[in-house]
A and B are shown apart, each in its own frame.
Chain A
Amino acid sequence: MPDLKRTPLHALHAELGAKMTEFAGYDMPVQYPMGVLREHQHCRGQAGLFDVSHMGQVLIVPRTGAIKDAALAMETLVPVDILGLSEGRQRYALFTNDAGGIEDDLMVANRGDHLFVVVNAACKDADIARMTDKLSDTCEVVPVTDRALIALQGPAAEAALLPIVHDAPNMNFMDVITVPSDFGPLWISRSGYTGEDGFEISVKANRAEDLARALLADVNVAPIGLGARDSLRLEAGLCLYGSDLDTTTTPVEAGLTWAIQKARRLGGAREGGFPGHDTILRQMSEGASRKRVGLLPDGRAPMRAGTEIFADETSQTAIGTVTSGAYGPWIEAPMSMAYVASEHAQKGTVLYGEVRGKRLPATVAALPFRPAQFKR
């Protein structure tokens, strides 16, 4: 493929025998010789190392030097309480648009004198343009282009990181720290995209391969590709931007109102003030006409993205669509996320997905399919 971008770990992927694929303009590992199913189970049982260097890392530095100014500026773009985010903590956030739709989902960390933001690879150029356009009066928006990002996920992640980062056990879920190491300064958060305990580690690009090799030297750590990353996040009930979230889905429809803290809701100290606040706050009081749900097909056939969902076996009009669907290796069953009309979104409702011309039953199920294993 022409002109695919490479991450600092590209040569290591080749050495590890990865099968590569294009993702968001990058040449990325989709699986290693272990294969998607075993990689998935290895991450759940031991630990997995993921190259997520294609994601966008951005610093938001307040011109006044006061973090409060960066927080208030950022709050004009996201329906999230950034001002209330303590130093050393990270929070999930959403860039919304004027219609209440979602432009991207992201992580925002308070690193004392600035905010650190991690955005999706496919959206990063647009996100950086948006932040530069809207925040530049008060903040310097600095894309971080000289650092890789490595995720280390799974029950053995802490032990694998410990020899490199002695403070690792002191971190709780969504804590962030900056620490010196044998691999230069590391920016670490205790978070991830698998539902497992784990860390995301930002490291200088020229030290990334050495760090990855040091982590992979632990017998419990295996490299994991994008294939298993997708089934892991789906079992964990986590949305993939571009599939489960897009510019036409609102946070309310997506079931992400937990990410909108009290301060930004109706009657809150800083009510509204983000793009699409009218629509989003109204839907929070009145409800939305469709909802994101989990679906567990009765049989073994996966219902993949695009599968139309019907209320019964004969009706002509679909009441929803699958946005992500795969086989769940840990739950040992197919699993899907779908948007369905709210009157059909009740847990336990039996709906029908049309697969190869046949209506197959699937039950609306609670998300996540596999409970999160975070260290709180």
Chain B
Amino acid sequence: MKYTEEHEWLRAEDDVMVVGITEHAATQLGDLVFVELPDVGTTVSKDDEIVVIESVKAASDILAPIDGEIVEVNEVLVENPAMVNDDAQGEAWFFKIKPSDPSQMDDMMDETAYNKYIG
């Protein structure tokens, strides 16, 4: 598992990366009540705002962690946003992305580094 400073996690699954937000991020956001996912097939660039999430407190965005193509999205979250608070690093992934430049992941944190990052 790789982690970003934007509190996303990436898990390799064959030739795509599964992306979600960390438990830490979910806790900080509070209960989620709205999720808007990108269209499958969209080509995205690193740091594009591709997912909108709203918690009981406020709206925020999830950024594309790398360049690539969105190949699958987790529609279940649209109907059940609270799942992110219950299982952020398991079933509540947001999208799967096919990387166009896998080297962009070289500098990402591992779990130890991320835990240190959130202190």
Roughly how many angstroms separate A227 CA and B34 CA in the complex, as a whole number? 17
Q: Does A36 contact B (CB under 8 A)?
A: yes
Residues of B within 8 A of A334 (CB): 33-34
Chain A residue nearest to B54 in the complex (CB)? A302
Chain A residue nearest to B58 in the complex (CB)? A304
- Evaluate contact between A227 and B54: CB separation under 8 angstroms: no
Q: Does B82 contact A (CB under 8 A)?
A: yes
* Mask: chain A, 227-257; 1 = CB below 8 Å from B; 0 = not: 1000100000000000000000000000000
- Evaluate contact between B30 and A31: CB separation under 8 angstroms: yes
* Mask: chain B, 70-102; 1 = CB below 8 Å from A; 0 = not: 000000001001100100000000000000000
A35/B59 contact (C-beta < 8 A), A300-B34, A356-B52 known: no
Roughly how many angstroms separate A304 CA and B54 CA in the complex, as a whole number? 11
Which one of B30, B31, B34, B52 has the greatest number of beta carbons of chain A within 10 Å? B31
* Mask: chain A, 333-344; 1 = CB below 8 Å from B; 0 = not: 010000000000
- Evaluate contact between A37 and B56: CB separation under 8 angstroms: yes
Q: Does B36 contact A (CB under 8 A)?
A: yes
Contacting residues of chain A (80-121) with chain B, CB-CB under 8 angstroms: none
Roughly how many angstroms separate A65 CA and B81 CA in the complex, as a whole number? 58
Classify chain A: how many residues form its interface, as a range: 10 to 19
Q: Is the interface of A mostly helix, strand, loop or mixed?
A: mixed
Residues of B within 8 A of A300 (CB): 33-34, 78, 81
Q: Does A161 contact B (CB under 8 A)?
A: no
Roughly how many angstroms separate A36 CA and B32 CA in the complex, as a whole number? 10
A-B contact count (CB 8 A): 39
Roughly how many angstroms separate A300 CA and B30 CA in the complex, as a whole number? 17
- Evaluate contact between A327 and B30: CB separation under 8 angstroms: no
* Mask: chain B, 3-35; 1 = CB below 8 Å from A; 0 = not: 000000000000000000000000000110110
Chain A residue nearest to B85 in the complex (CB)? A35
Q: Does A217 contact B (CB under 8 A)?
A: no
Q: Does A142 contact B (CB under 8 A)?
A: no
Residues of B within 8 A of A227 (CB): 30, 56-57
- Evaluate contact between B31 and A301: CB separation under 8 angstroms: no
Roughly how many angstroms separate A300 CA and B81 CA in the complex, as a whole number? 10
Residues of B within 8 A of A327 (CB): 33-34, 54, 56
Q: Does A326 contact B (CB under 8 A)?
A: yes
* Mask: chain A, 38-66; 1 = CB below 8 Å from B; 0 = not: 10000000000000000000000000000
- Evaluate contact between A37 and B78: CB separation under 8 angstroms: no
- Evaluate contact between B54 and A301: CB separation under 8 angstroms: yes
A304/B56 contact (C-beta < 8 A), A36-B31, A37-B82, A334-B34 known: no
How close is A93's CB to chain B, nearest CB, in angstroms? Answer: 31
Q: Is the interface of B mostly helix, strand, loop or mixed?
A: mixed
Chain B residue nearest to A38 in the complex (CB)? B31
Q: Which of these, A37, A302, A304, A356, contacts B31 with CB under 8 Å?
A: A37
Chain B residue nearest to A35 in the complex (CB)? B31
- Evaluate contact between A326 and B56: CB separation under 8 angstroms: yes
Contacting residues of chain B (35-64) with chain A, CB-CB under 8 angstroms: 36, 52, 54, 56-57, 59
How close is A10's CB to chain B, nearest CB, in angstroms? Answer: 21
Residues of B within 8 A of A231 (CB): 56
Residues of B within 8 A of A37 (CB): 31, 33, 56, 82
Q: What are the 7 A-B residue pairs with the smallest beta carbon separation, nearest first?
A: A327-B33, A36-B56, A37-B31, A35-B31, A300-B34, A36-B31, A301-B34
Residues of B that sit less than 8 Å from A by CB: 30-31, 33-34, 36, 52, 54, 56-57, 59, 78, 81-82, 85
27 A-B pairs (CB sep. < 8 Å): A35-B30, A35-B85, A36-B31, A36-B56, A36-B57, A37-B33, A37-B56, A37-B82, A38-B31, A227-B30, A227-B56, A300-B33, A300-B34, A300-B78, A300-B81, A301-B34, A301-B52, A301-B54, A302-B33, A302-B34, A302-B59, A304-B59, A327-B33, A327-B56, A334-B34, A356-B52, A356-B59
12 additional contacts (CB under 8 A) given A37-B82, A302-B59? A36-B30, A37-B56, A300-B33, A300-B34, A300-B81, A301-B52, A301-B54, A304-B59, A326-B56, A327-B54, A356-B52, A356-B59
